[in-house]
Amino acid sequence: MSALTDSLTYQAQISVPARLPEGFGLNREVRRFTETYTLAATPANGDTINLVRLPAGGNLKLVPHLSRVAHFGAASAVSISLVDSADVTLVGAVDAHTANGIAFASEDLEVAVPADGVIRAKITAHTGLAAGQTLRFFLAFVQE
C-alpha cells in the first residue's frame, strides 16, 4: 500500500490553514466538497489518495448518504472506501464503476471527522484501473 498523488485541494491546503471547502452550500449548515482526481499512475489495491483536510475542532460530521464517488474509464470494477490518516475506515467500500456514481452507505447517518481533519480515499480493490482514468468525489459535511 502506498499513497498516490494528493488531490489538488489537499495540495493547496498544505500551505494554508485548513478551512471548510467552499464547495456547494446546500444550506447554511451543510457543505459539499467536490474533487475530480486523475490517476497519475496505475494504483495497487490499498493505495490511498489524500482528498481534503478539514479544520480540527469544528464539530464536523461526514454525511455518507449525501456523499458519492464515480469512476470514469475502462476499468471493470473499482471499490473505494473513505479512511482517515491512520487508515481507519470511516465509510466502507462501494463500487464506484457506475455511470452516475454511487452514494456511500453507512449504518450511521453521520460519521465524525477525524481529529486531524484528513479524509482519504482508499482503493480497496480494482480491475483495470490505470493512469489517466478519473475518479470524481462529492463529499457532504455538516457543521453542528
Q: What is the pTM of this model?
A: 0.79
- For residue 24, the model assigns a pLDDT of 44
Q: How many domains does the chain have?
A: 1
Evaluate whether residue 37 is within a structural domain: yes
**Nearby residues of 131 by Cβ (< 8 Å), 6 or more positions away:** 39, 40, 41, 42
Is residue 40 within 8 Å of residue 103, measured between CB atoms?
A: no
Residue among 34, 19, 44 at smallest CA distance from 140? 34
- For residue 98, the model assigns a pLDDT of 63
The range of the structural domain enclosing residue 71 comes to 8-143
- For residue 23, the model assigns a pLDDT of 46
Evaluate whether residue 90 is within a structural domain: yes
Evaluate whether residue 30 is within a structural domain: yes
Evaluate whether residue 66 is within a structural domain: yes
Mean pLDDT by 10 residues, the chain (144 residues): 71 60 54 86 91 75 84 81 90 73 66 84 90 88 77
Evaluate whether residue 28 is within a structural domain: yes
CATH of the domain at 98: 2.60.120
Evaluate whether residue 93 is within a structural domain: yes
Evaluate whether residue 135 is within a structural domain: yes
Is residue 142 within 8 Å of residue 60, measured between CB atoms?
A: yes
Evaluate whether residue 3 is within a structural domain: no
